[in-house]
Structure 1
Amino acid sequence: MTAPQAVIRPATPCDLKAVACICAHYVRHSVATFEEIPPTVAHWEGRLEELTERNLPFLVAESDGAAVGFAHASPWRAKPAYRHTVEDTIYLAPDATGRGLGAALLEAVIAESARAGMRQMIAVIADTGSDASRSLHRRFGFTDSGRLREVGHKHGRWIDTFLMQRALTTGQGRTVL
């Protein structure tokens, strides 16, 4: 399978069991997420509802009728002045990596966030020992904004996070793609 064989589309409630399963893998087996308990399908239902109400994208990569990855943009911070800044999230099923789906999801979540009027996108990437996520974000115009040292503790180790940032629109509101 390659990325063109997958369909990137808005998530629906029917996708959320697969989303929960994909996320649970990373919660249990990696430090890519700082969650320690896998979010339930009910959690994902609430997240889908919240992001839909905010006109923010929650997307899935579908292959052979099943969701094999997901991405969404969520508010960066709760304070009102941050309302034009979002944080991206992307996860793929373990057997769906290396096929271009992460790039397809990131490209789509950037475009949809820009269409929603967002101005900046932040990526918070855990230092997993692999540069894959940072490299992917760099390919899409993200630049390094900082490193937070030992801000997470999971699976018996302290974990750094990298902050990356990308403009979605110019000061005049024009989309930067």
Structure 2
Amino acid sequence: MIRTVNNSDAQVIAAIYNHYVINTPITFEEQAISSVDMVRRIESVHHSSLPWLVKEQNGEVVGYAYATPWKERSAYRFSVETSVYITNDMKSKGMGTALYLALFAELKKKNIRTAIGGITLPNSASVALHEKLGMKKVAHFEKVGFKFGQWRDVGYWQAQLESFNHPV
């Protein structure tokens, strides 16, 4: 089941995210975050009128996906940056695909035209997920983050969402 996030999901979402913060270069965050910080992030996404979805399996949250504004200038209002995180033991089971497809459907309803996903490189699993969903690599920034004693590259993948209708 995929549903809209609730603030009560913040603790499990923080735990999912903190696995990546502490153990991987996937996120450039370097300190674990609290559930209070996660509630603030959830509320910020809701304040932007963008979706934040969670995937449940057997009543437990096993992943989440959300969108944030790409940039603050008004002309960027039809573009978002997307993120998806899955519990470590549920990776490669179609959860990321399901979450991204649901997220894209919600973004289309909100008249979002462009979805952009940033990926710390190398990350073959995330690249495969984004490309499976029709996203194309549009940028590669070298050595823009420093984590775990190494400079890290970031690539950006972009999808044009089909049902965009420019407002009159």
The bucket for the TM-score relative to the shorter chain is: over 0.9
**Structure 1 counterpart of 2:114, from 120, 144, 149:** 120
Shift of 1:169: 3.9
Partners in 2 of 1:89 and 1:39 — Cα distance?
17
- Paired residues in the alignment total 167
Range moving further from structure 2, 22-31 or 137-146:
137-146
Partners in 2 of 1:62 and 1:144 — Cα distance?
30
**Structure 2 counterpart of 1:105, from 99, 111, 114:** 99
Unaligned runs of 5+ in 2: none
**Structure 1 counterpart of 2:157, from 149, 159, 164:** 164
Contact 1:59 1:72 in 2 (8 A): yes
TM-score by length of structure 2 reads 0.94
Q: Percent identity?
A: 34
1:3 paired residue number: none
Partners in 2 of 1:65 and 1:161 — Cα distance?
34
1:4 paired residue number: none
1:29 paired residue number: 23
Shift of 1:53: 2.5
Structure 1 segments, 4+ long, off by >6 Å, are none
Unaligned runs of 5+ in 1: 1-6
Partners in 2 of 1:119 and 1:39 — Cα distance?
31
SS, match of residue 138 in structure 2: strand
TM-score by length of structure 1 reads 0.89
CA-atom RMSD in angstroms: 1.6
Partners in 1 of 2:164 and 2:7 — Cα distance?
36
Partners in 2 of 1:145 and 1:96 — Cα distance?
29
**Structure 1 counterpart of 2:128, from 122, 129, 135:** 135
Deviations 1:15-44 (A, max 9, x none): 110000001000000000000112221222
Shift of 1:172: 4.1
Contact 1:126 1:160 in 2 (8 A): yes
Deviations 1:51-70 (A, max 9, x none): 22322110111111111111
**Structure 1 counterpart of 2:36, from 8, 20, 42:** 42
SS, match of residue 136 in structure 1: helix
Shift of 1:14: 1.6
1:88 paired residue number: 82
Shift of 1:171: 6.3
Contact 2:112 2:164 in 1 (8 A): no
